[in-house]
Structure 1
């Protein structure tokens, strides 16, 4: 694996569902620019779920953070609701509630933390930048 320099981008978005697509396109450009084409599809899926949850479950703005640090690639979404994310144990396949299941299935790791007490939360997930065996 070649040594990659660390980098980070933060995209601040309004409470507007159209912003999710805008962030996906920006993410695609960022990953292409940094030579990470293998992450395009999984990162777009995960970013869509993270931001979709932020827009769907809050009334305020949100942010998407995209970071490469060593062999780890991290996506994170901040939103203004401090309520912890929960995985629906029995999601309806025809309705919402599947986002965290997708994140849990596709990401190498994920979690969340409260931001400044009651000023929202940050939900993150990581993908390795090296190939994983099938």
Structure 2
């Protein structure tokens, strides 16, 4: 799937894809992340970014039930990711016991990202995160 848009130079570039509200889109998003980061010579970040994208995209499919836009922006040796959806509901951390099946997504995002947050959008919200190479963020 080619990106919906691409811009940049060797130190700063961005790609963006539009994905459906479908569980298959979560796996596709992970694949797109790995391909983009490999193309930017940032494969060392691929698993962290893919994990964060997987959790945020899953939240969109399960809770927002809307299509999403995945954006990745390279900033030197760091990547800023954004997942925008059309739902006005913001993600809320949930307590999760050892036997709980749900409730760990935002804790995983916090563990893998250097920082993350949520911003309002004209229609819905944008969950953003930044991952950098260890020692470079």
Relative to the length of structure 1, the TM-score reads 0.87
Which of 128, 132, 135 is residue 132 of structure 1 equivalent to?
135
Any residues of structure 2 matched to 1:66-105 within 5 Å, and which? 66-88=72-94, 90-93=95-98, 94-105=100-111
Larger mean CA deviation between 26-35 and 62-71 belongs to 62-71
Contact 1:50 1:76 in 2 (8 A): no
Aligned equivalent of 1:42? 48
Deviation digits for residues 81-126 of structure 1, max 9, x if unmatched? 11122111x214431111100111111100011101xx11000110
RMSD: 1.8
Structure 2 residues without counterparts, runs of 5 or longer: 1-9
Which of 8, 11, 15 is residue 5 of structure 1 equivalent to?
11
Q: C-alpha distance in 2, partners of 1:99/1:84?
A: 13
More strand by share: 2
Larger mean CA deviation between 10-19 and 69-78 belongs to 69-78
Relative to the length of structure 2, the TM-score reads 0.85
Contact 2:64 2:89 in 1 (8 A): no
Q: Which runs of 4+ in 1 moved over 6 A?
A: none
Structure 1 residues without counterparts, runs of 5 or longer: none
Aligned equivalent of 2:7? none
Q: How many residue pairs were aligned? A: 127
Whether 1:106 aligns to 2:109 is no
